[in-house]
Structure 1
Amino acid sequence: MLKKLLFSIAMLSVTGLASAESLCPEQYPDGVQPTVLNAPGRNNLMELCAPHGGFASEYSPELRVPLYSVEHLTAEHIVKHQKRKQIRTDSFRPDDRLTHEQRAELEDYRRSGFDRGHMAPDADSWDEESEYDTFVLSNMVPQAPENNRGLHAHIEGAVRHLAKREGSIYVFTGPVFQGNTSMMRRRVVIPSGIFKLVYDPSRHAAAAYLENNVDGPQGQVYRVITPSELTQLTGIDFLPGIKHLGTLDLPVPRDSAHFGRHSARPKHFFGF
């Protein structure tokens, strides 16, 4: 079927109108893509579907980062990943579905001081193929190393535990742009923050973590916000058509909640 074609790309019509029909609707709640209202880099957006079905990205060739990556994360995925018990295999690479002018390159990140920060995490994958898909640069943003390897990793782990407990959730992860925006190598935009929005359809509730994309103590600080507050920050309505949402009780990110890496005892603080 068309939606299962490898390396599928859908060009989207934005500016506040409903998006074109998705090529990977299984990644979105009720199969409906978010509505991009007034997000930075909203011109000529592309939907990029992971070849093996793990996630989809709303990609901005203007900013050379995704505005978000979205996953339908299930307990089955988490259990399969835990059973694999493998050290991850890094395979960072540019996205060959995009031209050089549209995409980030490995050279853009080299000696930049920023990590290649996954939006859909490699540790959410369930086999070698789905893990390989996550390492494409169109699924990444420039991320402060201490944030990426500390608080952000622990938030990812907390969300996996939530998926395992609830059975099925939808997770949107992406950049926030506030204040003066800088560019890496004059090509790739550097976000001021990172969000992770979780929607639990069984509870009809959602909430989002919001982090600072910086090193040092401020990169270990987060707060929880509502979907409407996230829309104000990003210019994207992530759950269009879903009404009367409750507020999801998000788990506190802890080191023990993260699969696959050992890290120091976390010192995270709620609120900024």
Structure 2
Amino acid sequence: MKAERRFTHAQLIHPDERIRIHLLNNEIYRTVGTHGHDFVELLYIRSGKAVHRLNDKSFLAGAGDAFVIQAGDTHSFEPITPFFEWIDCMFVPEFIDFDVRSLLSDRKYFASDGMEIDYLMGAMLREYGEKKPAYLTKLRGYLLALLAELGRQGEQRDERPYGSRKKTRLLQEAVEYVHLHYRDKINLDDAAAKLGISRSTLNRLFRSRANDSFAGFVNAYRLERSSLLLRSGELPIRDAALECGFADGKHFRTLFRRRFGMTPGEFRKAAAAGAAEQHGEPEQPE
């Protein structure tokens, strides 16, 4: 597969950080044309499905799948669902003490327990966005844990009982359902009906695999999305809450403060102040 374009780390990654993480979807890029780069790229699919072409192979990419694109590889995305969302982590190998070349780029990796990779990628996205003190150190820790998990998958066959694998896939489908419909008024009954299981089975699945109830997971994802909107400053607080599925403003403020330790207004001011400080200071200490 011949690359249409080739990118360099100097174009896309800040030299003081050596890593860049962002959330993308097919509302931003309808397709991702064939391209290559001189850095490592780690892709994690959060919602929807797409055809991912990597070198000479094609993969059906869905929620819970992860791919490692090495320097020199070429790849492209063609979404096949109305909404497709992924986290893109780009970094230079020198950023972390790990032999990234040991990870194969001719396969796809899976969220082995249904949640660990999703949690690590979400935590990295948040750390990179907030850029609190020592954020690069924390990013290295998260990335090392993530790469070690992928490496473990490359060395071991999945010998879990069929029932365990089925539960993992059900949880991934439930997570995808939340990622696709978090703006809507969704509940446990809707999700269970969509998956063809009982509401009690689905709730037990979340509590055993995600250490949270279904409702708790939905609210956590909505809060994560609302924090991104508040950080961007594009919408009033009330509109950001509504956009993320919170119809009750008081309930939104209560949950937001419990999750982030500050009100939505305080969070927006802190994010704006941090962005201004970053813009005025080219050196970004760890």
Do the structures match in fold with TM over 0.5? Answer: no
Which one has a bigger Cα radius of gyration? 2
Bigger relative contact order, structure 1 or 2 (CA pairs below 8 A, ≥6 apart)? 1
Which of the two has greater helix per residue?
2
Which of the two has greater strand per residue?
1
Normalised TM-score (structure 1)? 0.27
